[in-house]
Amino acid sequence: MASKRELIAQNIVATLKNQKVYRFGLVTREPQRDIEDLAKTSFPCAVIESANEVREDITQGGADIVRMSDAEYSIMVYVMAGRRDLDTQRNEIIEAVEELLDVDRTRGGNALYTELTAVESDDSAQSPIVSMRLTVLVKYCYTRGNV
């Protein structure tokens, strides 16, 4: 059985893949080492990864200890210059991702809530590709031993 952390990551990927609000060329959990080598049809590209997490007990003692987690998921978005202004494309993606994630803030019943908490420019890609990192915070509870 997959952990809630894994189920939430899978839900974020499925949410971005299975929608018609914004067309991504590629949505994946596999880091793209050579982003410049991707086909033009892969753009815009979204790479989702589980990131930082803070966990704490919310019950004391007993066999079933319930824990609360604030988990961050990183969505690296790569956009290629072309038909539209890069800044406009990035702004449209930010809006679309936030709207898509807000449709089900419980990530299929696995979370208490979800919110987009940060948007950061990232200059690691080579021109004509620009990138940004969207940070999504997901709060969820789980019973220790039943992650």
What would the pLDDT profile of 85-119 be if each residue is shown by its tens digit? 888 899 999 999 999 999 999 999 999 999 999 99
Helices within the chain (DSSP H only)? 4-17, 86-103
Backbone angles phi, psi at 52, to 5 degrees: -70, 155
User: Residue 147 above 60 pLDDT?
Assistant: no
- Which pLDDT score is estimated for 36? 85
Rounded to a whole number of angstroms, the distance between the first and last alpha carbons of the chain is 9
The rounded distance, in Å, linking the Cα atoms of 66 and 76 is 31
Segment 38-53 mean pLDDT: 94
Segment 113-142 mean pLDDT: 91
User: Residue 82 above 80 pLDDT?
Assistant: no
- Which pLDDT score is estimated for 111? 98
Sequence-ordered list of residues with C-beta below 8 angstroms from that of 57, at least 6 positions apart, any chain:
65, 66, 67, 68
Segment 82-87 mean pLDDT: 78
What tokens does 108 get? 């299929």
The rounded distance, in Å, linking the Cα atoms of 1 and 78 is 32
Range of the domain at 59: 4-143
User: Residue 145 above 70 pLDDT?
Assistant: no
pTM over 0.85: yes
Band (pLDDT 50/70/90 cuts) for residue 127 is confident
Sequence length of the chain is: 147
Instruction: Identify the CATH number of the domain in which residue 128 sits.
Output: 3.30.2000.10
What tokens does 128 get? 């004509």
Strand 45-57 to 26-28 pairing: parallel
Handedness of CA 5, 9, 10, 11 (dihedral sign): positive
Counting the structural domains of the chain, the total is 1
Band (pLDDT 50/70/90 cuts) for residue 2 is confident
The rounded distance, in Å, linking the Cα atoms of 23 and 43 is 9
User: Residue 123 above 80 pLDDT?
Assistant: no
